[in-house]
Amino acid sequence: MSLRSRKVLISTARMLAVDVFLIASWRWGRHATWSSITPWAIGLLLLTAATAAYGWWWYSDPQRLEKARALREERAARRLLK
């Protein structure tokens, strides 16, 4: 599995877990009805989908990844010199 796929799938799974927890706690914690929670649930799921799409786009740019890798290597080299 590519780095891009792995990072996006892991972050999406974490966000979905948070979404499920929030929806469940709203439903049973406040004794709310499903009709009052549905707009919020749809909003959370759309936000999760948008964040996953942005992550997919972010990790797809090879120039940005190359800059990030070079920056990490530079920081590691600086730490070794200290």
Q: How many CA atoms lie within 13 A of 59 on its CB side?
A: 14
pLDDT at 75: 95
- pLDDT higher than 80, residue 60: no
Residue 28 contacts residue 22 (beta carbons within 8 Å): no
* Lowest mean per-residue pLDDT among 1-10, 20-29, 70-79: 1-10
Residue spans per domain, the chain: 3-81
pLDDT at 46: 94
Reported confidence tier of residue 48, pLDDT bands at 50, 70, 90: very high
Neighbouring CB atoms inside 10 A of 8's CB total: 21
pLDDT at 64: 75
**Is pLDDT larger for residue 78 or for residue 37?**
78
